[in-house]
Structure 1
Amino acid sequence: MEGAPIARGSKDDEVLSALTKNLAQTTLHEAYELIDTVEAIPAVIKTLVDQPVIPPSLYIDLEGVNLSRQGSISILQIHVAPKKKTYLIDIHTLGTKAFDTTSELDHTLRSVLQSESIPKVFFDVRNDSDALFSQFKISLAGITDLQVMEYGTRSFRRQFVSGLSKCIDRDLDLSYSQRSKCQHVKEEGLKLFAPGRGGTYEVFNQRPLSDAIGLYCVQDVQWLPQLYQTYLRKVSKSMSAKIALATLHRVKESQSSSYNGHGKHKAVGPW
Protein backbone atom coordinates (compact mmCIF):
# COMPACT_ATOMS: atom_id res chain seq x y z
CA MET A 1 0.00 0.00 0.00
CA GLU A 2 1.45 3.34 -1.01
CA GLY A 3 1.85 5.96 1.68
CA ALA A 4 0.66 9.53 1.39
CA PRO A 5 3.16 12.17 0.25
CA ILE A 6 5.18 13.59 3.14
CA ALA A 7 4.30 17.21 3.78
CA ARG A 8 7.29 19.36 4.72
CA GLY A 9 7.18 22.72 6.41
CA SER A 10 9.66 25.52 5.78
CA LYS A 11 11.95 24.35 8.64
CA ASP A 12 12.01 20.84 7.18
CA ASP A 13 12.96 22.29 3.80
CA GLU A 14 15.79 24.30 5.38
CA VAL A 15 17.15 21.17 7.09
CA LEU A 16 16.92 19.19 3.85
CA SER A 17 18.66 21.97 1.94
CA ALA A 18 21.50 22.03 4.49
CA LEU A 19 21.91 18.24 4.35
CA THR A 20 21.96 18.34 0.54
CA LYS A 21 24.58 21.09 0.57
CA ASN A 22 26.78 19.17 3.04
CA LEU A 23 26.50 16.04 0.91
CA ALA A 24 27.41 17.99 -2.22
CA GLN A 25 30.50 19.45 -0.50
CA THR A 26 31.60 15.98 0.66
CA THR A 27 31.09 14.61 -2.85
CA LEU A 28 33.05 17.51 -4.34
CA HIS A 29 35.97 16.96 -1.96
CA GLU A 30 36.17 13.34 -3.08
CA ALA A 31 35.44 14.06 -6.73
CA TYR A 32 38.17 16.49 -7.75
CA GLU A 33 41.06 18.76 -6.89
CA LEU A 34 41.01 22.27 -8.34
CA ILE A 35 44.49 23.35 -9.41
CA ASP A 36 44.61 27.14 -9.53
CA THR A 37 48.14 27.95 -8.31
CA VAL A 38 51.52 27.50 -9.98
CA GLU A 39 52.84 25.83 -6.83
CA ALA A 40 50.34 22.96 -7.21
CA ILE A 41 51.31 22.11 -10.80
CA PRO A 42 54.54 20.05 -10.24
CA ALA A 43 52.81 17.50 -7.98
CA VAL A 44 50.06 17.02 -10.56
CA ILE A 45 52.58 16.48 -13.35
CA LYS A 46 54.46 13.92 -11.25
CA THR A 47 51.20 12.02 -10.77
CA LEU A 48 50.44 12.08 -14.50
CA VAL A 49 53.82 10.76 -15.66
CA ASP A 50 53.96 8.03 -13.00
CA GLN A 51 50.85 6.18 -14.24
CA PRO A 52 50.67 2.91 -16.24
CA VAL A 53 50.20 3.28 -19.99
CA ILE A 54 48.32 0.01 -20.72
CA PRO A 55 45.43 0.62 -20.56
CA PRO A 56 45.59 4.42 -20.76
CA SER A 57 45.46 6.12 -17.38
CA LEU A 58 44.64 9.68 -18.47
CA TYR A 59 41.18 10.80 -19.66
CA ILE A 60 40.88 14.44 -20.68
CA ASP A 61 38.30 17.07 -21.59
CA LEU A 62 38.18 20.87 -21.77
CA GLU A 63 35.52 23.45 -20.98
CA GLY A 64 35.46 27.06 -22.08
CA VAL A 65 33.68 29.96 -23.70
CA ASN A 66 33.09 29.08 -27.37
CA LEU A 67 35.77 26.39 -27.05
CA SER A 68 37.76 26.75 -30.27
CA ARG A 69 40.29 29.08 -31.85
CA GLN A 70 37.74 31.90 -31.60
CA GLY A 71 37.00 31.33 -27.93
CA SER A 72 38.88 30.57 -24.73
CA ILE A 73 39.77 27.64 -22.48
CA SER A 74 38.48 27.88 -18.92
CA ILE A 75 39.15 24.46 -17.37
CA LEU A 76 41.14 21.40 -18.39
CA GLN A 77 39.88 18.20 -16.75
CA ILE A 78 42.23 15.24 -16.31
CA HIS A 79 40.83 12.05 -14.82
CA VAL A 80 43.55 9.69 -13.56
CA ALA A 81 41.83 6.30 -13.76
CA PRO A 82 44.12 4.22 -11.48
CA LYS A 83 43.74 6.82 -8.70
CA LYS A 84 40.05 7.47 -9.43
CA LYS A 85 40.82 11.15 -9.14
CA THR A 86 40.07 14.14 -11.34
CA TYR A 87 42.15 17.30 -11.54
CA LEU A 88 40.51 20.49 -12.75
CA ILE A 89 43.30 22.71 -14.07
CA ASP A 90 42.20 26.36 -13.93
CA ILE A 91 43.43 27.64 -17.31
CA HIS A 92 41.39 30.84 -16.97
CA THR A 93 43.41 31.78 -13.87
CA LEU A 94 46.82 30.31 -14.74
CA GLY A 95 47.00 30.78 -18.51
CA THR A 96 50.31 29.67 -20.06
CA LYS A 97 51.77 28.95 -16.61
CA ALA A 98 49.50 25.91 -16.38
CA PHE A 99 51.26 24.34 -19.36
CA ASP A 100 54.85 25.53 -18.91
CA THR A 101 55.52 25.18 -15.18
CA THR A 102 58.10 22.40 -14.77
CA SER A 103 58.16 19.47 -12.40
CA GLU A 104 61.33 18.27 -10.66
CA LEU A 105 62.12 16.05 -13.66
CA ASP A 106 61.55 18.92 -16.14
CA HIS A 107 58.21 17.59 -17.34
CA THR A 108 55.43 20.08 -18.03
CA LEU A 109 51.75 19.70 -18.75
CA ARG A 110 52.63 20.75 -22.30
CA SER A 111 55.13 17.90 -22.65
CA VAL A 112 52.59 15.40 -21.25
CA LEU A 113 49.95 16.49 -23.76
CA GLN A 114 52.43 16.36 -26.65
CA SER A 115 54.00 13.02 -25.66
CA GLU A 116 53.52 10.02 -27.95
CA SER A 117 54.51 7.68 -25.11
CA ILE A 118 51.88 8.90 -22.61
CA PRO A 119 48.49 7.76 -23.94
CA LYS A 120 45.57 10.13 -23.44
CA VAL A 121 41.89 9.55 -24.17
CA PHE A 122 39.45 12.26 -25.31
CA PHE A 123 35.83 12.11 -26.46
CA ASP A 124 35.73 14.09 -29.73
CA VAL A 125 39.16 15.67 -29.61
CA ARG A 126 38.59 18.17 -32.42
CA ASN A 127 37.63 21.44 -30.69
CA ASP A 128 39.83 20.67 -27.69
CA SER A 129 42.77 20.24 -30.05
CA ASP A 130 41.82 23.37 -31.99
CA ALA A 131 41.76 25.49 -28.82
CA LEU A 132 45.02 24.07 -27.42
CA PHE A 133 46.90 24.46 -30.71
CA SER A 134 45.57 27.89 -31.62
CA GLN A 135 45.89 29.50 -28.21
CA PHE A 136 48.87 27.70 -26.63
CA LYS A 137 50.69 26.06 -29.57
CA ILE A 138 50.13 22.60 -28.08
CA SER A 139 50.09 19.82 -30.67
CA LEU A 140 48.37 16.82 -29.11
CA ALA A 141 49.94 13.38 -29.55
CA GLY A 142 49.33 9.89 -28.17
CA ILE A 143 45.57 10.40 -28.48
CA THR A 144 42.66 7.97 -28.65
CA ASP A 145 39.32 9.53 -29.60
CA LEU A 146 36.49 7.57 -27.93
CA GLN A 147 33.91 8.98 -30.32
CA VAL A 148 35.84 7.48 -33.23
CA MET A 149 36.33 4.27 -31.24
CA GLU A 150 32.57 3.92 -30.66
CA TYR A 151 31.86 4.57 -34.33
CA GLY A 152 34.37 1.92 -35.40
CA THR A 153 32.97 -0.79 -33.12
CA ARG A 154 29.31 -0.60 -34.16
CA SER A 155 27.65 -3.72 -35.52
CA PHE A 156 25.60 -1.59 -37.89
CA ARG A 157 27.34 1.60 -38.86
CA ARG A 158 25.22 4.62 -39.70
CA GLN A 159 26.28 7.98 -41.03
CA PHE A 160 26.50 9.95 -37.81
CA VAL A 161 28.65 9.81 -34.67
CA SER A 162 27.15 9.63 -31.18
CA GLY A 163 27.43 12.22 -28.42
CA LEU A 164 28.91 11.48 -25.00
CA SER A 165 25.59 11.51 -23.13
CA LYS A 166 24.11 8.99 -25.54
CA CYS A 167 27.14 6.70 -25.23
CA ILE A 168 27.00 6.79 -21.42
CA ASP A 169 23.27 6.09 -21.38
CA ARG A 170 23.35 3.35 -24.00
CA ASP A 171 26.68 1.59 -23.51
CA LEU A 172 27.34 1.62 -19.76
CA ASP A 173 25.59 -0.69 -17.33
CA LEU A 174 24.85 1.95 -14.70
CA SER A 175 22.58 1.48 -11.73
CA TYR A 176 19.38 3.48 -11.37
CA SER A 177 21.07 5.61 -8.72
CA GLN A 178 24.07 6.30 -10.96
CA ARG A 179 21.87 7.23 -13.91
CA SER A 180 19.76 9.54 -11.75
CA LYS A 181 22.82 11.28 -10.35
CA CYS A 182 24.33 11.57 -13.82
CA GLN A 183 21.17 13.17 -15.19
CA HIS A 184 20.87 15.53 -12.21
CA VAL A 185 24.47 16.74 -12.53
CA LYS A 186 24.01 17.28 -16.26
CA GLU A 187 20.78 19.24 -15.83
CA GLU A 188 22.19 21.46 -13.07
CA GLY A 189 25.19 22.27 -15.25
CA LEU A 190 23.11 22.99 -18.34
CA LYS A 191 20.94 25.45 -16.43
CA LEU A 192 24.04 27.49 -15.70
CA PHE A 193 25.93 27.44 -18.99
CA ALA A 194 23.57 26.54 -21.85
CA PRO A 195 22.20 29.70 -23.52
CA GLY A 196 19.06 27.80 -24.49
CA ARG A 197 18.41 27.16 -20.78
CA GLY A 198 19.02 30.77 -19.78
CA GLY A 199 22.68 30.20 -18.90
CA THR A 200 25.97 31.53 -20.20
CA TYR A 201 29.29 29.85 -20.95
CA GLU A 202 30.97 32.65 -18.97
CA VAL A 203 30.01 30.63 -15.87
CA PHE A 204 33.11 28.50 -16.53
CA ASN A 205 35.20 31.63 -15.84
CA GLN A 206 33.44 32.65 -12.64
CA ARG A 207 35.47 32.16 -9.47
CA PRO A 208 35.03 30.59 -7.06
CA LEU A 209 33.91 27.74 -9.28
CA SER A 210 30.34 26.72 -8.47
CA ASP A 211 29.65 23.24 -7.10
CA ALA A 212 27.34 22.46 -10.02
CA ILE A 213 29.97 23.37 -12.64
CA GLY A 214 32.70 21.48 -10.76
CA LEU A 215 30.63 18.29 -10.71
CA TYR A 216 29.63 18.78 -14.35
CA CYS A 217 33.32 18.97 -15.33
CA VAL A 218 34.09 15.81 -13.38
CA GLN A 219 31.22 13.88 -14.92
CA ASP A 220 32.45 14.62 -18.43
CA VAL A 221 35.60 12.56 -17.76
CA GLN A 222 34.76 10.09 -14.98
CA TRP A 223 32.87 7.67 -17.26
CA LEU A 224 35.46 7.69 -20.05
CA PRO A 225 37.58 4.80 -18.64
CA GLN A 226 34.52 2.51 -18.57
CA LEU A 227 33.54 3.52 -22.09
CA TYR A 228 37.10 2.83 -23.25
CA GLN A 229 37.00 -0.69 -21.81
CA THR A 230 33.53 -1.29 -23.30
CA TYR A 231 34.67 -0.40 -26.80
CA LEU A 232 38.12 -1.98 -26.49
CA ARG A 233 36.55 -5.43 -26.19
CA LYS A 234 35.06 -4.98 -29.67
CA VAL A 235 38.11 -3.61 -31.47
CA SER A 236 39.85 -5.87 -33.97
CA LYS A 237 43.50 -5.34 -34.95
CA SER A 238 42.58 -3.92 -38.35
CA MET A 239 39.94 -1.64 -36.83
CA SER A 240 42.41 -0.43 -34.20
CA ALA A 241 44.68 0.87 -36.97
CA LYS A 242 41.73 2.54 -38.68
CA ILE A 243 40.63 4.24 -35.45
CA ALA A 244 44.18 5.49 -34.80
CA LEU A 245 44.42 6.92 -38.32
CA ALA A 246 41.04 8.66 -38.06
CA THR A 247 41.99 10.14 -34.67
CA LEU A 248 45.27 11.44 -36.08
CA HIS A 249 43.34 12.96 -38.98
CA ARG A 250 41.01 14.73 -36.53
CA VAL A 251 43.95 16.29 -34.70
CA LYS A 252 45.63 17.41 -37.92
CA GLU A 253 42.36 18.75 -39.32
CA SER A 254 41.74 20.78 -36.15
CA GLN A 255 45.12 22.48 -36.62
CA SER A 256 44.47 23.52 -40.22
CA SER A 257 43.64 27.10 -41.16
CA SER A 258 40.36 25.99 -42.74
CA TYR A 259 39.02 24.08 -39.72
CA ASN A 260 35.46 24.96 -38.70
CA GLY A 261 34.64 23.74 -35.20
CA HIS A 262 30.90 24.34 -35.46
CA GLY A 263 28.25 22.98 -37.78
CA LYS A 264 26.32 19.89 -38.82
CA HIS A 265 29.35 18.50 -40.68
CA LYS A 266 30.86 17.53 -37.32
CA ALA A 267 28.13 14.94 -36.77
CA VAL A 268 29.20 12.93 -39.83
CA GLY A 269 31.24 9.81 -39.10
CA PRO A 270 34.98 9.64 -39.88
CA TRP A 271 34.50 7.13 -42.71
Structure 2
Amino acid sequence: MSARLFQKSDYNVSKLTTIVEDFDLLDHEALDDKPEPAKASSSKVKFLDTKPKVVEFLESIRVISSTTPYLYIDIEGIELSRHGNISILEVYVLPAGKTYLLDIYTLQEKAFSTLDSRETTLKRILESNEIKKVFFDVRNDSDALFAHYGIHLAGIHDLQSMELVTRSYSKKFVTGLGKGIETDAPITPTERLDWTRAKERGRELFAPECGGKYEVFNNRPLSQDILQYCCQDVEFLPTLWKTYDDKMTSKKRECVVKESIRRVNLSHMPNYDGKGRSRALAPFCFV
Protein backbone atom coordinates (compact mmCIF):
# COMPACT_ATOMS: atom_id res chain seq x y z
CA MET A 1 0.00 0.00 0.00
CA SER A 2 1.36 3.37 -0.97
CA ALA A 3 2.27 5.75 1.83
CA ARG A 4 0.59 8.45 -0.25
CA LEU A 5 -2.73 6.77 0.46
CA PHE A 6 -3.47 8.43 3.76
CA GLN A 7 -1.66 11.74 3.40
CA LYS A 8 -3.75 14.84 3.95
CA SER A 9 -3.94 17.61 1.38
CA ASP A 10 -1.66 20.52 2.20
CA TYR A 11 -3.87 23.49 1.56
CA ASN A 12 -6.05 26.03 3.29
CA VAL A 13 -9.72 25.25 2.71
CA SER A 14 -10.58 28.92 3.13
CA LYS A 15 -8.76 29.59 -0.14
CA LEU A 16 -11.03 27.32 -2.10
CA THR A 17 -13.88 28.83 -4.11
CA THR A 18 -17.80 27.69 -6.19
CA ILE A 19 -19.48 29.21 -9.08
CA VAL A 20 -20.10 32.93 -8.54
CA GLU A 21 -21.57 33.53 -11.96
CA ASP A 22 -25.36 33.08 -11.65
CA PHE A 23 -24.73 32.55 -7.92
CA ASP A 24 -25.39 35.83 -6.16
CA LEU A 25 -29.13 35.25 -5.84
CA LEU A 26 -28.74 31.64 -4.73
CA ASP A 27 -30.64 30.65 -1.59
CA HIS A 28 -28.27 28.21 0.07
CA GLU A 29 -30.96 26.76 2.34
CA ALA A 30 -33.14 26.18 -0.69
CA LEU A 31 -30.27 24.26 -2.25
CA ASP A 32 -30.26 21.93 0.74
CA ASP A 33 -34.02 21.42 0.70
CA LYS A 34 -34.94 21.41 -2.98
CA PRO A 35 -32.03 20.95 -5.37
CA GLU A 36 -33.07 21.57 -8.95
CA PRO A 37 -30.95 19.28 -11.11
CA ALA A 38 -30.86 20.03 -14.79
CA LYS A 39 -32.21 17.62 -17.35
CA ALA A 40 -29.86 16.36 -20.02
CA SER A 41 -28.24 19.14 -22.06
CA SER A 42 -30.39 21.87 -20.53
CA SER A 43 -27.43 23.71 -19.02
CA LYS A 44 -24.88 25.92 -20.68
CA VAL A 45 -21.58 24.28 -21.59
CA LYS A 46 -18.11 25.82 -21.31
CA PHE A 47 -15.03 24.16 -22.81
CA LEU A 48 -11.85 24.93 -20.88
CA ASP A 49 -8.70 24.41 -22.95
CA THR A 50 -6.37 27.22 -21.80
CA LYS A 51 -4.85 28.22 -18.48
CA PRO A 52 -6.72 31.58 -18.44
CA LYS A 53 -10.01 29.69 -18.82
CA VAL A 54 -9.07 27.38 -15.96
CA VAL A 55 -8.20 30.40 -13.81
CA GLU A 56 -11.55 31.99 -14.65
CA PHE A 57 -13.30 28.75 -13.69
CA LEU A 58 -11.43 28.47 -10.38
CA GLU A 59 -12.04 32.10 -9.46
CA SER A 60 -15.74 31.62 -10.03
CA ILE A 61 -15.81 28.96 -7.32
CA ARG A 62 -16.31 29.59 -3.64
CA VAL A 63 -17.15 27.30 -0.77
CA ILE A 64 -20.76 27.31 0.40
CA SER A 65 -22.28 25.51 3.36
CA SER A 66 -24.64 22.89 1.96
CA THR A 67 -25.59 19.32 2.78
CA THR A 68 -26.40 18.84 -0.91
CA PRO A 69 -23.32 18.22 -3.09
CA TYR A 70 -22.99 20.79 -5.85
CA LEU A 71 -20.12 19.37 -7.93
CA TYR A 72 -20.96 16.36 -10.12
CA ILE A 73 -18.06 14.85 -12.03
CA ASP A 74 -17.44 12.35 -14.80
CA ILE A 75 -14.35 11.57 -16.87
CA GLU A 76 -13.81 10.36 -20.44
CA GLY A 77 -10.60 8.87 -21.76
CA ILE A 78 -8.88 6.07 -23.61
CA GLU A 79 -8.84 2.97 -21.38
CA LEU A 80 -9.59 5.20 -18.41
CA SER A 81 -7.19 3.85 -15.79
CA ARG A 82 -3.51 3.91 -14.82
CA HIS A 83 -2.87 2.13 -18.13
CA GLY A 84 -4.72 4.65 -20.31
CA ASN A 85 -5.23 8.40 -20.23
CA ILE A 86 -7.72 11.12 -19.39
CA SER A 87 -9.16 13.16 -22.24
CA ILE A 88 -11.95 15.24 -20.71
CA LEU A 89 -13.06 15.91 -17.15
CA GLU A 90 -16.68 17.04 -16.91
CA VAL A 91 -17.95 19.07 -13.98
CA TYR A 92 -21.62 19.91 -13.61
CA VAL A 93 -22.15 22.70 -11.08
CA LEU A 94 -25.63 22.40 -9.59
CA PRO A 95 -26.23 25.97 -8.34
CA ALA A 96 -25.06 27.52 -11.62
CA GLY A 97 -26.75 24.93 -13.83
CA LYS A 98 -23.68 24.71 -16.06
CA THR A 99 -21.39 22.01 -17.37
CA TYR A 100 -17.66 22.66 -17.61
CA LEU A 101 -15.54 20.42 -19.83
CA LEU A 102 -11.87 20.57 -18.89
CA ASP A 103 -9.61 19.61 -21.78
CA ILE A 104 -7.14 17.35 -19.98
CA TYR A 105 -5.75 16.02 -23.28
CA THR A 106 -4.55 19.53 -24.16
CA LEU A 107 -3.78 20.97 -20.73
CA GLN A 108 -2.42 17.83 -19.06
CA GLU A 109 -1.02 18.59 -15.58
CA LYS A 110 -1.75 22.33 -15.97
CA ALA A 111 -5.47 21.60 -15.66
CA PHE A 112 -4.90 20.52 -12.06
CA SER A 113 -1.99 22.72 -10.95
CA THR A 114 -2.97 26.12 -12.38
CA LEU A 115 -3.37 28.62 -9.56
CA ASP A 116 -5.95 31.35 -9.37
CA SER A 117 -5.41 34.60 -7.43
CA ARG A 118 -6.37 32.83 -4.19
CA GLU A 119 -3.92 29.98 -4.75
CA THR A 120 -6.75 27.57 -5.48
CA THR A 121 -6.16 24.67 -7.87
CA LEU A 122 -8.47 22.02 -9.25
CA LYS A 123 -6.30 19.40 -7.52
CA ARG A 124 -7.00 21.01 -4.16
CA ILE A 125 -10.74 21.07 -4.85
CA LEU A 126 -10.72 17.39 -5.81
CA GLU A 127 -8.75 16.51 -2.66
CA SER A 128 -10.90 18.57 -0.30
CA ASN A 129 -13.02 16.72 2.24
CA GLU A 130 -15.07 19.88 2.80
CA ILE A 131 -16.20 20.16 -0.83
CA LYS A 132 -18.51 17.25 -1.59
CA LYS A 133 -18.20 15.76 -5.06
CA VAL A 134 -20.40 13.14 -6.73
CA PHE A 135 -19.13 10.40 -9.07
CA PHE A 136 -20.94 7.33 -10.37
CA ASP A 137 -18.54 4.46 -9.60
CA VAL A 138 -15.46 6.46 -8.69
CA ARG A 139 -12.98 3.58 -8.96
CA ASN A 140 -11.52 3.91 -12.48
CA ASP A 141 -11.73 7.70 -12.37
CA SER A 142 -9.78 7.65 -9.12
CA ASP A 143 -7.28 5.16 -10.54
CA ALA A 144 -6.52 7.43 -13.51
CA LEU A 145 -6.36 10.65 -11.49
CA PHE A 146 -4.05 9.15 -8.87
CA ALA A 147 -1.75 7.34 -11.31
CA HIS A 148 -1.30 10.18 -13.79
CA TYR A 149 -1.64 13.31 -11.64
CA GLY A 150 -1.15 12.20 -8.03
CA ILE A 151 -4.68 13.23 -7.06
CA HIS A 152 -6.13 11.52 -3.96
CA LEU A 153 -9.86 12.14 -4.21
CA ALA A 154 -11.70 13.06 -1.02
CA GLY A 155 -15.20 14.21 -0.09
CA ILE A 156 -16.69 11.70 -2.54
CA HIS A 157 -20.31 10.56 -2.75
CA ASP A 158 -20.37 7.43 -4.92
CA LEU A 159 -23.77 7.27 -6.62
CA GLN A 160 -23.41 3.62 -7.56
CA SER A 161 -23.06 2.84 -3.85
CA MET A 162 -26.08 5.03 -3.06
CA GLU A 163 -28.19 3.12 -5.58
CA LEU A 164 -27.08 -0.18 -4.14
CA VAL A 165 -27.72 0.62 -0.50
CA THR A 166 -31.22 1.99 -1.24
CA ARG A 167 -32.21 -0.83 -3.60
CA SER A 168 -35.25 -2.92 -2.54
CA TYR A 169 -34.32 -6.08 -4.47
CA SER A 170 -31.18 -8.26 -4.69
CA LYS A 171 -27.94 -6.44 -3.88
CA LYS A 172 -25.58 -9.09 -5.25
CA PHE A 173 -24.41 -6.98 -8.21
CA VAL A 174 -23.91 -3.25 -8.76
CA THR A 175 -25.67 -1.49 -11.62
CA GLY A 176 -24.37 0.82 -14.36
CA LEU A 177 -25.11 4.49 -14.83
CA GLY A 178 -27.16 3.89 -17.96
CA LYS A 179 -29.51 1.53 -16.16
CA GLY A 180 -29.72 3.92 -13.24
CA ILE A 181 -30.85 6.74 -15.52
CA GLU A 182 -33.29 4.49 -17.39
CA THR A 183 -34.98 3.14 -14.27
CA ASP A 184 -34.55 5.79 -11.58
CA ALA A 185 -34.23 9.24 -13.16
CA PRO A 186 -37.60 11.10 -12.96
CA ILE A 187 -37.63 12.32 -16.57
CA THR A 188 -40.24 12.53 -19.29
CA PRO A 189 -40.46 9.99 -22.14
CA THR A 190 -39.21 12.67 -24.54
CA GLU A 191 -36.19 13.44 -22.36
CA ARG A 192 -35.47 9.74 -22.04
CA LEU A 193 -35.64 9.30 -25.83
CA ASP A 194 -33.30 12.27 -26.39
CA TRP A 195 -30.85 10.85 -23.85
CA THR A 196 -30.95 7.40 -25.49
CA ARG A 197 -30.34 8.83 -28.97
CA ALA A 198 -27.41 10.95 -27.78
CA LYS A 199 -25.96 7.93 -25.99
CA GLU A 200 -26.21 5.80 -29.12
CA ARG A 201 -24.66 8.46 -31.37
CA GLY A 202 -21.74 8.83 -29.01
CA ARG A 203 -21.15 5.09 -28.73
CA GLU A 204 -21.13 4.72 -32.49
CA LEU A 205 -18.20 7.14 -32.58
CA PHE A 206 -16.07 5.87 -29.67
CA ALA A 207 -17.02 2.27 -28.86
CA PRO A 208 -14.88 -0.29 -30.75
CA GLU A 209 -17.70 -2.83 -30.66
CA CYS A 210 -19.81 -0.29 -32.57
CA GLY A 211 -17.08 0.51 -35.08
CA GLY A 212 -15.81 3.57 -33.21
CA LYS A 213 -12.50 4.59 -31.65
CA TYR A 214 -11.89 6.05 -28.19
CA GLU A 215 -9.45 8.48 -29.81
CA VAL A 216 -12.42 10.65 -30.82
CA PHE A 217 -12.27 12.09 -27.29
CA ASN A 218 -8.89 13.56 -28.24
CA ASN A 219 -10.01 15.14 -31.51
CA ARG A 220 -10.14 18.93 -31.42
CA PRO A 221 -12.54 20.51 -31.86
CA LEU A 222 -14.87 17.94 -30.34
CA SER A 223 -17.67 16.82 -32.63
CA GLN A 224 -21.14 17.93 -31.58
CA ASP A 225 -22.16 14.31 -30.90
CA ILE A 226 -19.18 13.72 -28.58
CA LEU A 227 -19.78 17.07 -26.87
CA GLN A 228 -23.38 16.02 -26.28
CA TYR A 229 -22.27 12.63 -24.99
CA CYS A 230 -19.83 14.22 -22.54
CA CYS A 231 -22.53 16.49 -21.11
CA GLN A 232 -25.56 14.24 -20.89
CA ASP A 233 -24.61 11.74 -18.20
CA VAL A 234 -23.03 14.24 -15.81
CA GLU A 235 -26.13 16.44 -16.04
CA PHE A 236 -28.28 13.56 -14.78
CA LEU A 237 -26.16 12.91 -11.70
CA PRO A 238 -27.92 15.52 -9.51
CA THR A 239 -31.29 13.97 -10.38
CA LEU A 240 -30.09 10.52 -9.39
CA TRP A 241 -28.44 11.83 -6.23
CA LYS A 242 -31.73 13.40 -5.12
CA THR A 243 -33.67 10.22 -5.96
CA TYR A 244 -31.38 8.02 -3.88
CA ASP A 245 -30.79 10.53 -1.09
CA ASP A 246 -34.54 10.68 -0.42
CA LYS A 247 -34.35 6.97 0.50
CA MET A 248 -31.31 7.26 2.74
CA THR A 249 -31.10 6.80 6.49
CA SER A 250 -28.20 7.92 8.67
CA LYS A 251 -26.93 4.34 8.76
CA LYS A 252 -27.09 4.04 4.97
CA ARG A 253 -25.28 7.37 4.55
CA GLU A 254 -22.52 6.16 6.83
CA CYS A 255 -22.26 2.98 4.77
CA VAL A 256 -21.97 4.94 1.51
CA VAL A 257 -19.30 7.26 2.92
CA LYS A 258 -17.22 4.29 4.07
CA GLU A 259 -17.64 2.51 0.73
CA SER A 260 -16.72 5.66 -1.22
CA ILE A 261 -13.49 5.98 0.78
CA ARG A 262 -12.80 2.26 0.38
CA ARG A 263 -13.21 2.51 -3.39
CA VAL A 264 -10.77 5.42 -3.65
CA ASN A 265 -8.21 3.58 -1.54
CA LEU A 266 -8.75 0.36 -3.50
CA SER A 267 -8.09 2.16 -6.78
CA HIS A 268 -4.62 3.14 -5.53
CA MET A 269 -3.53 -0.42 -4.80
CA PRO A 270 -0.81 -1.91 -7.03
CA ASN A 271 -3.00 -4.89 -7.95
CA TYR A 272 -6.18 -2.92 -8.72
CA ASP A 273 -7.79 -4.20 -11.93
CA GLY A 274 -10.19 -1.71 -13.51
CA LYS A 275 -11.59 -4.39 -15.80
CA GLY A 276 -11.84 -7.23 -13.30
CA ARG A 277 -15.11 -9.16 -13.12
CA SER A 278 -15.16 -8.71 -9.36
CA ARG A 279 -15.98 -5.02 -9.88
CA ALA A 280 -19.56 -6.05 -10.69
CA LEU A 281 -19.99 -7.70 -7.29
CA ALA A 282 -21.49 -5.69 -4.44
CA PRO A 283 -19.39 -5.20 -1.31
CA PHE A 284 -20.07 -7.91 1.26
CA CYS A 285 -21.52 -5.44 3.76
CA PHE A 286 -24.17 -4.37 1.20
CA VAL A 287 -25.47 -7.85 0.37
Query: Could you list the per-position Cα deviations for residues 208-262 of structure 1 after superposition, in whole angstroms to 9, with x for gaps in the alignment?
Result: 1111111101012000001001000111111111111111000000011110000
Query: Number of paired residues?
Result: 245
Q: Which residue of 1 aligns with 2:92?
A: 79
* CA deviation map 1:166-186 (0-9, x unaligned): 011101121111011101110
State the distance in 1 between where 2:44 and 2:56 align.
Answer: 18
SS at 1:73 equivalent: strand
Q: Distance in 2 between matches of 1:29 and 1:180?
A: 15
Amino acid at match of 2:283: P
Matched residue, 1:8? none
Report how far residue 28 of structure 1 moved: 7.5
**Alignment partner, residue 52 of structure 2:** 39
Cα offset for 1:51? 4.8
Deviation at 1:104, TM superposition (A): 1.3
Say which SS state the counterpart of residue 271 (structure 2) adopts: coil
2:236: which partner in 1? 223
Which residue does the alignment assign to 1:115?
128
Q: Which has the larger radius of gyration?
A: 1
1:193 counterpart letter in structure 2:
F
Structure with more contact order per residue of length (Cα contacts < 8 Å, sep ≥ 6): 2
Alpha-carbon deviation of 1:30?
5.2
Structure 2 regions of 5+ residues with no counterpart?
1-39
**Which SS does the other structure have where 1:82 is aligned?**
coil
Confirm whether residue 60 of structure 1 aligns to residue 73 of structure 2. yes
Secondary structure of 2:60's partner? helix
Unaligned runs of 5+ in 1: 1-26
C-alpha distance in 1, partners of 2:217/2:74? 14
Structure 1 pair 162–97 and aligned structure 2 pair: CA distance change class (3 A): same
CA RMSD between the two structures: 1.5
Give yes or no for contact 1:121–1:143 (8 Å, CA) kept in 2. yes
CA contact (8 A) 1:62 1:77 kept: yes
CA distance in 2, matches of 1:53, 1:193: 37
CA positional deviation for 1:29: 10
Partner SS, residue 144 of structure 1:
strand
SS at match of 2:72: strand
Equivalence for 2:117:
104
Paired position in structure 1 for 2:18: none
TM-score if structure 1 supplies the norm length?
0.87
Three-state SS of the structure 2 residue aligned to 1:161 is: coil
Tell me the residue number matched to 2:180.
Answer: 167
Query: 1:135 is matched with which residue?
Result: 148
Contact 1:76 1:90 in 2 (8 A): yes
Give the conservation status (yes or no) of the 8 Å contact 1:100–1:110.
Answer: yes
Query: Taking structure 2 as the reference length, what is the TM-score of the superposition?
Result: 0.83
Structure with higher helix content: 1
Give the letter for the 1:225 counterpart.
Answer: P
Taking structure 1 as reference, are residues 29 and 207 closer, same or farther at Cα in structure 2, changes over 3 Å only?
Answer: farther
Q: Provide the rounded CA distance (Å) in 1 between the counterparts of 2:188 and 2:89.
A: 28
Q: Percent identity between the aligned chains?
A: 44
Give the corresponding residue for 2:139: 126
- How far did residue 134 of structure 1 move? 0.2
Hey, what does 1:184 align to over in structure 2? 197
C-alpha contact 1:28 1:211 (8 A) present in aligned 2: no
Letter of the 1:88 counterpart = L
